[in-house]
Structure 1
């Protein structure tokens, strides 16, 4: 009877531990910091790659908690968050947010469309502007020019093409690693229960 009671305590201890670990794994949030333009700094696009920011936004799936990192010479440029109308007309007056330290970080806190341009006169007209969508934004809210195009295995930058991993493979990798770690926890839990029962 005492042996059965110790086995039940061990099993209960194991279940509670497993539940706590699973809750902890589910509550982990993975946030990423994305350098806008990847290898290109925030600046006027070159003639070799005039749509660098349009291309960049097509191939990055941003989520709440992620950050945009704008890197530029602070004496020569800035970045501003603007409304959709200001984005389209390149109106840099009355921005929502103004950043000019050369190492600007924008944290994404909600779903929607975000519009950015350079705060310097004439830069927006030369395509130094970016629109990103976060979350479930309806397709009619995104202009055809900024809508994601057909998927490709890479996109161009000043330094050549940057390969893009297929987005469909990302969730399966994440799910398989979670399953592997859960399986390891179960095996370790049964081992600990066996040792605990043997000592009782």
Structure 2
């Protein structure tokens, strides 16, 4: 079973690289978590600064014992209602593929995290680059995002997965082209499988 998963992952990465898809580490933070009170809008700002397209993927990195990543409807997003998510992942390395145009919504199901600003909405254009008009539910969700106060000067550290103070710039940076960088490792794994 693990071998089949490895082969599927390698093929997916190969396909993503060929198609020009990108994988984005959500927030470009060390971890997906409730943002500090000085940066409650960190995910809003981050999502507005990325040119998402069909086929891209969002990578949520977090300690699995402390958080999760859930996809929710626009209504649930606006109300921070995580009782019935569309999709829920809690493995600490959650990847959501952007496979349809429109607005998609993510948050954490951990108590209080959504209300503290741990919420993300992403606009995915159609294949020709056009954006769909927002629905009434989308408008309510956007209003909820606008209710977050703007970021103040930072006084708290951003969430981190490690307790060390080492600043590995490669690990702390975003993953705008993870598919290309991981492709070599996936190809090597695939070549090993071919020889078996």
Report the TM range for the smaller structure's normalisation. Answer: 0.5 to 0.7
Stretches of structure 1 lacking an aligned partner (at least 5 in a row):
1-27, 148-155, 160-200
1:31-61 deviation per Cα after TM superposition (whole angstroms, max 9, x unaligned): 0000001134100101221111001111011
Aligned match of 2:120: 130
Separation of aligned partners in 1, 2:82 and 2:49: 26
Kindly indicate whether structure 1 or structure 2 has the higher relative contact order, using CA contacts under 8 Å at least 6 residues apart: 2
**CA separation in 2, counterparts of 1:118 and 1:139?**
23
Instruction: Say which of 11, 14, 26 aligns to 1:36.
Output: 26
The separation in 1 between residues aligned to 2:21 and 2:79, in whole angstroms, is 32
- Rg (Cα) greater in structure: 1
CA–CA distance in structure 1, aligned partners of residues 60 and 100 of structure 2: 19
SS in 2 for 1:81: strand
Alpha-carbon distance in structure 2 between the residues aligned to 1:87 and 1:139: 14
> Within 1, Cα distance between the matches of 2:158 and 2:82?
27
Q: SS of 1:126's equivalent?
A: coil
8 A Cα contact 1:71 1:104, kept in partner = yes
The CA distance in 2 between the partners of 1:76 and 1:158, in whole Å, is 15
Count of aligned positions = 124
Q: Deviations over 1:112-149 (max 9, x none)?
A: 110111011111111111111000122675535658xx
Q: Does structure 1 residue 81 correspond to structure 2 residue 34? A: no
Q: 1:96 aligns with which of 65, 75, 86?
A: 86
TM-score (norm 1): 0.57
Stretches (4+) displaced over 6 A: none
